[in-house]
Amino acid sequence: MPIKVHSISLGCPKNRVDTEHLLGSLHQMGGGIVAVEEPDEADLIFINTCGFIAPAVEESVQTILECASAAGEGAGKRPLLAAAGCMVSRYLGQIEEGLPEVDLWLPLNAKERWPAIILKAMGMEAEYSPARLLSTGPSFAYLKICEGCGHNCSFCTIPSIRGPLSSLPQEAIVNDAREMIAQGVPELVVVAQDVTAYGRDRDEKNGLLHLLEKLIPLDGLQRLRLMYLYPAGLTDELLSFLRDAGEPFVPYFDIPVQHSHQGILSAMGRPFARDPRRALDKVRSYIPEAALRTSIIVGFPGETEEHFSHLLNFIEQTRFHHLGVFAYQAEDGTPAAEFADRVPEDVALARRERVMELQAEISREMLEEYAGQRLDIVVDEVSPEWPGLHVGRTWFQAPEVDGVTYLSGPGVQPGIVARAEIVETKTYDLVALADQPED
């Protein structure tokens, strides 16, 4: 009988990939699984937690408590509740007593054994059989190429949670990509903590370039998107290759600069602590049409009004298509948590708001330039609010982090790539009308 599973994956896309592999392996090893919407309907509740920052830890704990409470309301046998992932690895040994609702704690260093551990706890035994079940719908899939991180940013917990950089075997990545494409997925989104670092742990020169040489020609792939590109990894060799690659590569560059001022970047321990404009200008010199995305931290210890004004000028001049901004929070175990010259929380939040206001203006102006253009839209899903309307993305809109394109018209359905005219632009989103399908 199939196992009824209620699963929740919190945090980043890399976590989601881990969850998909766990579900796929359970499906192979346990005689099938069935996804259920409610915890009290499940045989297994699986929660892949996030432990990157304090709010993510709080969300993970709250999710565990809510699922445990909902599961306890059912009339039948209580489901097995398994908590896995980053929060578990970061705080294992500290949280078990406070969360007796959890039956199984699954740290990252036991990831390949998660399915077997779960099945054993459910009274089943099976040999490990790797597989993957997509949870992102029919339009895209994440393709993880590395584990861990080889950088030592002073604010970041990732290396202590997920360990040092470990590049996955090229053959395994390509096979994973082929399997996703075979399921009809038109877009693959390449993810890692630093995608440009692929192969560096094996002293491989141009490791990402050589991997892309295998991925780009894959039959059936319509879009290949790269996320988390560190500035220091954007070499002339890589940019020259990407400039000439053509489809399915889309010229979308997610480059997390975190700040603009050299003093703050140095304190952050960023691997590219010089002027990030040099990396961004280099991208645009090779690929003028590139869409740029970044993430920013405001309120880092020692950030003055002068530093912040430098950052605002940098954002205004660079004009990113998309920008995420976070108010700094000190994380236990990181060097920055011990830094002096703390920025008051209210000041950091006010700075975050000012950056968001500036970016909203930039985004609105940039999207206006697409009015009247005809673009290919990957259709993600039916709009939950508006019957007959679909939600999709252009080439410069990444899933789950950027704005979207609202699409209507004949023949539109999730999983297809529709040609459409942009008929309206908003602050972060677009509205489009699909072409009439050809006979």
Determine the pLDDT at residue 74. 56
Q: For 287-332, what is each residue's pLDDT tens digit?
A: 999 999 999 999 999 999 999 999 999 999 999 999 999 999 999 9
Q: Are residues 413 and 295 part of one domain? A: no
214: tokens are: 């295998």
Determine the pLDDT at residue 166. 96
Q: Are residues 238 and 99 part of one domain? A: no
Among 303, 310, 315, 306, which residue's Cα sits nearest to residue 347? Answer: 303
Among 272, 285, 356, which residue's Cα sits nearest to residue 320? Answer: 356
Confidence band of 73 (pLDDT split at 50, 70, 90): low
Eight-class DSSP state of 258: B
Q: Are residues 158 and 106 part of one domain? A: no
Q: Does residue 277 carry a pLDDT above 70?
A: yes
> Quick check: is 127 in a domain?
no
Exposed, middle or buried, 367 (CB in 10 Å: 0-12/13-18/19+)?
Answer: buried
Confidence band of 8 (pLDDT split at 50, 70, 90): very high
Q: For 16-60, what is each residue's pLDDT tens digit?
A: 999 999 999 999 998 899 999 999 999 999 999 999 888 999 999
Q: For 188-230, what is each residue's pLDDT tens digit?
A: 999 999 999 999 999 999 999 999 999 999 999 999 999 999 9
Q: Which single residue is written with the structure tokens 């980043």?
A: 12
Q: Are strands 3-9 and 430-434 parallel, antiparallel or unpaired?
A: unpaired
What's 394's domain CATH number? Answer: 2.40.50.140
Confidence band of 76 (pLDDT split at 50, 70, 90): low
Average pLDDT of the residues in 102-115? 95
pTM of the model: 0.94
Q: Does residue 232 carry a pLDDT above 80?
A: yes
Confidence band of 439 (pLDDT split at 50, 70, 90): low
pLDDT above 90 covers a percentage of the chain that reads: 89
> Quick check: is 126 in a domain?
no
CB-CB contact of 409 with 385 (8 Å): no
Q: Are residues 109 and 225 part of one domain? A: no
What's 171's domain CATH number? Answer: 3.80.30.20
> Quick check: is 128 in a domain?
no
State the chain's mean pLDDT as an integer.
Answer: 94
Domain finish residue from 368, 400, 424:
368
> Quick check: is 132 in a domain?
no
Q: Are residues 270 and 364 part of one domain? A: yes
User: How many domains does the chain divide into?
Assistant: 3
Main-chain dihedrals φ then ψ at residue 251, nearest 5 degrees: -80, 60
50: tokens are: 């996030």
Contacts of 14 (CB under 8 A, 6+ apart): 142, 144, 191, 192, 193
Determine the pLDDT at residue 275. 83
> Quick check: is 352 in a domain?
yes
Q: Does residue 75 carry a pLDDT above 80?
A: no
Q: Are residues 357 and 242 part of one domain? A: yes
Q: Are residues 213 and 347 part of one domain? A: yes
Determine the pLDDT at residue 273. 59
Q: Are residues 183 and 147 part of one domain? A: yes
> Quick check: is 130 in a domain?
no
CA–CA dist 170, 207 (Å, integer): 9
Q: Are residues 380 and 355 part of one domain? A: no
Q: Are residues 33 and 10 part of one domain? A: yes
**Partner residues linked to 421 by β-bridges:** 374, 433
Determine the pLDDT at residue 72. 79
> Quick check: is 273 in a domain?
yes
Determine the pLDDT at residue 189. 98
Among 436, 384, 439, which residue's Cα sits nearest to residue 412? Answer: 436
What's 56's domain CATH number? Answer: 3.40.50.12160
Average pLDDT of the residues in 53-72? 93
Average pLDDT of the residues in 130-147? 95
Distance of CA 308 to the CA centre of its chain: 27
Confidence band of 78 (pLDDT split at 50, 70, 90): confident
Determine the pLDDT at residue 422. 98
CA–CA dist 267, 301 (Å, integer): 8
**Structural domain that includes position 93:** 3-121
Q: Are residues 149 and 251 part of one domain? A: yes
Q: Does residue 253 carry a pLDDT above 60?
A: yes
**Partner residues linked to 378 by β-bridges:** 393, 417
Domain finish residue from 88, 121, 154:
121
Query: How many beta carbons lie within 10 A of that of residue 152, not counting itself?
Result: 12
Q: Are residues 401 and 355 part of one domain? A: no
Q: Does residue 11 carry a pLDDT above 60?
A: yes
> Quick check: is 135 in a domain?
no
